[in-house]
Amino acid sequence: MLEKRGCEPRRGGEFKGYLTLDGGAERKECLVAELTELNAVLQVEPDFCLSGAFQLAVPELDIHSLCRVTWIKGHQHGVEFIPLD
């Protein structure tokens, strides 16, 4: 379901995602709570805090993208997709 907020349509729902960190040395599961073409809201384990850039994969939606954290609130992390040039 796409919901329009501001300029970008948002995809609601929850999708299982995978974070690849440290050049592939570490892989963590996450929950993708909101998604647009430019950014996403991820829910991670309460004791885990993302920082910097990492790879996000959401197999159900065929998404594999480099991301960076833009905000953190509790176990939710706002991320933006980094375009590949």
Residue 4 has pLDDT above 50, yes or no: no
Residue 3 has pLDDT above 60, yes or no: no
Q: Is residue 48 part of a domain?
A: no
User: Which tops the pLDDT comparison, 26 or 81?
Assistant: 81
Q: Is residue 73 part of a domain?
A: yes
Q: Is residue 52 part of a domain?
A: no
Mean pLDDT of 59-81: 95
CA-wise closest residue to 32 among 44, 20, 24, 23: 44
pTM above 0.85, yes or no: no
CB 41 within 8 A of CB 77: yes
Q: Is residue 85 part of a domain?
A: yes
Mean pLDDT of 42-51: 89
Domain containing 27: what range? 10-41+66-85
- Looking at residue 8, its pLDDT comes to 52
Domain count, the chain: 1
Q: Is residue 50 part of a domain?
A: no
Q: Is residue 1 part of a domain?
A: no
Q: Is residue 3 part of a domain?
A: no
Strands 2-5 and 76-81: unpaired
- Looking at residue 11, its pLDDT comes to 60
Q: Work out whether the CA dihedral 60, 13, 75, 80 comes out positive or negative.
A: positive
Distance spanning both ends of the chain, measured CA to CA: 30
In whole angstroms, give the CA distance from residue 30 to residue 85: 26
